Structure 1
């Protein structure tokens, strides 16, 4: 049996020099701000890197580290090559139509996840391994009751959240939702068993379980399972209220507002966004306030309240321009200028101002980081629809081809639905460019 013991990263430890882990973490955060990144780096993260628990950093940290040490590679910094961590060199890549499994792109702690999600304080619990183990490892396992919940269990919950977000960024939600529901059940089983945990550990566990509920809710939301999404968001909100966690409460309201907008309940979208802003106000994160203001703007746009929508978008832009802060939640790494632009595009689209919507969507596609494959496909789908409705058929067809180029890697019912809507608008327009897109669209295989 191959050992899974972590190997200390001595190269990275040497780079820290005489600075404490906390001082070095502050240096990392400053370097991130220099290049427009935001990472929630703290002494604990530095310690995990140096202990070898993080064999390869995620893309945000990679960009920051390579900025801090020009000319160095990840291997020079003591990390393993991304391909070796993800196991791609050991087996051929799956065909494009195969739904992504949750082991395919994990960056860190897969062994911890496999072990910890097979333990809990309840007598019988789902052995949730995020798809990292074999199929036979995902049944029901009987364990002794009253097992103490500690740091390893909490870290596994937190890492499950990060892994789901990474895979969603790369592949979309459709192939992930049902796999991700199992560790969510295990996380709440840990909460049920955590009465003997220290207060700090229990607070982290509540926050981690709530964030996991939101992540799984988002997978349901993006794959068109709206009732499931609503249930998961409500579960996260209840967890936040129980734990007195305003950050988790703001996140739950943020997603609930988005879901309400998408399901034709704009007044509820506005109310949820306003509740999220009240929860977020003491947290000192302008970027979080900006996102919540944009959620409010989206609801007001669907109500036809152009003035209220423009006011909310103005507040959002002002807050966004105040810049990133250390207090920004970790889950907000996706909220960059490109996302600011696409959310404004969606507001103008709801107000039927198609040319202005297309201008914002076009900027979003130009600004988007190519590592966020799912969002890149979504932004281009938004652009396709806005251009089609603005009467710019040829440019819309070109954008539609770019969406199709990504659909072998991204599985999202939401994006497919946006593209289908754009195609319906384009179909009567005719012309060789539109015809070519329609022909290619007709050959698109059904969602897996």
Structure 2
């Protein structure tokens, strides 16, 4: 990793906050509102990777006019209102370089691009969500910027060709040279790559995504080597690269590649330390603690979780501290220290009850009642308290937002295993069958391993109701289908 070279330049005109959009969000947190946007998109057949950061950018005025996919979703959410009513500016006023060149732009590959690379419009282009139904399609404030931002050369891969609209497609080599210095467009593209990877993991799990997600990570660090136009951009690039390293590390972690995950988390931690980014440091230590627990190093899990809490205390997020207390509890459980585990669990619950705050990190959108219960279930399971474990696992599966398909499968697999070990084989088999039904959508070695363990426990109970069916279906299961363009194939 190399720190960015920063040169002075005239500051951009500060954006005007979108107060109308902020009023529409009301008392909901940005993450909660983003979940409503994603749900509304599904209602009309759209697919948008909306999260808390996107909502924040809209409210800050960074996105003066949304692209057409978001426009359709917002107008569906607020019928009878126009984009102007929602606080956006007319689309014609945000036309930049793309608008000036749209008419002349060729429909095939751009000069210097290899055959098959994305052109001015291509359905494989990850940064475009709309059909090519008019000449000024590329006038979106973001589409042209984001499409080009990862077209980095040298040893980097074209991340724009790597990330398909809702999936990770095979990479292609870039012919364009690396930009001399990175700017806001590159930072935006990097942040979008993180969002898309996280959304895909929420839906489908890590297997099949990890190797493809490594290409944008290489491109991210190539951007850092190129330098940045100003210090704020350099900080944003470092934060984005660190978050991407954690996301790729999690994909490695969840697919059983523990050594690779450890390396990616260490890379993110080094980036955080180099730039003094306490939020990134806390996130890297959080995931390191989780990995250490799963890898059978519980004492390291406790130390990493405690280090994460030290980094996170000045950030003002009780929810983050709650999650980190749960990471610590998992380590204590692994050490068979019931007292230490119970204390950490009580601290996690108390912090969680303080509620959400604007200081909550964007990446924590997954952390709610369901995750709290699911992580507590894992602690009780590790301690051998199967009754408490199954009760919390059931609560987690029932409380989970349907968007997080992977987590529903994970909590239900935890429930099946806890019930089997508690001596309730019929209920365990029923839960196991529900997990098997989700494996067409979810790819996770962790979940597969949990089901295999449950099957071993249930073998002596084959005559119990439903157990034989579960065992037979599990034995014949050939594993999850691969994901292509964001959907199982």
TM range (shorter): 0.7 to 0.9
Q: Are 2:69 and 1:55 aligned?
A: yes
Give the alignment partner of residue 180 of structure 2, picking from 132, 144, 147. Answer: 147
More helix by share: 1
User: Counterparts in 2 of 1:1-16, with a 5 A limit?
Assistant: none
Q: Are 2:299 and 1:267 aligned?
A: yes
Unaligned runs of 5+ residues in structure 2 are 1-15, 35-51, 89-123, 131-141, 483-489
**Shift in Å, 1:188:** 0.4
Give the alignment partner of residue 388 of structure 2, picking from 351, 356, 364. Answer: 356
1:399 corresponds in structure 2 to 431
CA distance in 2, matches of 1:372, 1:31: 23
**Shift in Å, 1:52:** 2.5
1:304 corresponds in structure 2 to 336
Q: Are 2:126 and 1:126 aligned?
A: no
Q: Are 2:234 and 1:238 aligned?
A: no
Inter-CA distance 135–35: structure 2 relative to 1 (3 Å threshold): closer
Per-residue deviation, residues 324-376 of structure 1 (Å, max 9, x unmatched): 00000000000010000000000000000000000000100110011110111
Per-residue deviation, residues 397-445 of structure 1 (Å, max 9, x unmatched): 1100110110001011111111111111111112231011111111211
| Matched position secondary structure for 2:159 | coil
| Matched position secondary structure for 2:174 | strand
Unaligned runs of 5+ residues in structure 1 are 1-19, 80-101
CA distance in 1, matches of 2:296, 2:204: 26
Per-residue deviation, residues 160-210 of structure 1 (Å, max 9, x unmatched): 00000000001111011111000000000001111x421111111000000
2:225 corresponds in structure 1 to 192
1:445 corresponds in structure 2 to 478
Which deviates the most, 43-52 or 248-257? 43-52
Per-residue deviation, residues 71-117 of structure 1 (Å, max 9, x unmatched): 9899x9899xxxxxxxxxxxxxxxxxxxxxx9899979676544211
Contact 1:110 1:132 survives alignment (8 Å):
no
CA distance in 2, matches of 1:106, 1:361: 39
| Matched position secondary structure for 1:173 | coil
Inter-CA distance 132–172: structure 2 relative to 1 (3 Å threshold): same
1:340 corresponds in structure 2 to 372
User: Counterparts in 2 of 1:103-252, with a 5 A limit?
Assistant: 112-119=145-152, 123-129=154-160, 130-132=162-164, 138-144=171-177, 147-194=180-227, 196-252=228-284
1:96 corresponds in structure 2 to none
| Matched position secondary structure for 1:411 | coil
Contact 1:216 1:232 survives alignment (8 Å):
yes
CA distance in 2, matches of 1:175, 1:137: 11
| Matched position secondary structure for 2:442 | coil
**Shift in Å, 1:126:** 1.9
**Shift in Å, 1:49:** 5.1
Inter-CA distance 49–315: structure 2 relative to 1 (3 Å threshold): same
1:388 corresponds in structure 2 to 420
2:346 corresponds in structure 1 to 314
With normalisation by structure 1, the TM-score equals 0.81
Number of aligned residue pairs: 399
Inter-CA distance 313–110: structure 2 relative to 1 (3 Å threshold): farther
Inter-CA distance 168–435: structure 2 relative to 1 (3 Å threshold): same
2:309 corresponds in structure 1 to 277
2:11 corresponds in structure 1 to none
Per-residue deviation, residues 115-134 of structure 1 (Å, max 9, x unmatched): 211136xx443222233399
Contact 1:48 1:54 survives alignment (8 Å):
no
**Shift in Å, 1:243:** 0.8
CA distance in 2, matches of 1:25, 1:78: 6
Contact 1:297 1:312 survives alignment (8 Å):
yes
CA distance in 1, matches of 2:125, 2:434: 27
Inter-CA distance 112–170: structure 2 relative to 1 (3 Å threshold): farther
Contact 1:206 1:243 survives alignment (8 Å):
yes
Contact 1:22 1:42 survives alignment (8 Å):
no
CA distance in 2, matches of 1:288, 1:255: 12
Contact 1:207 1:248 survives alignment (8 Å):
yes
2:26 corresponds in structure 1 to 30
2:448 corresponds in structure 1 to 416
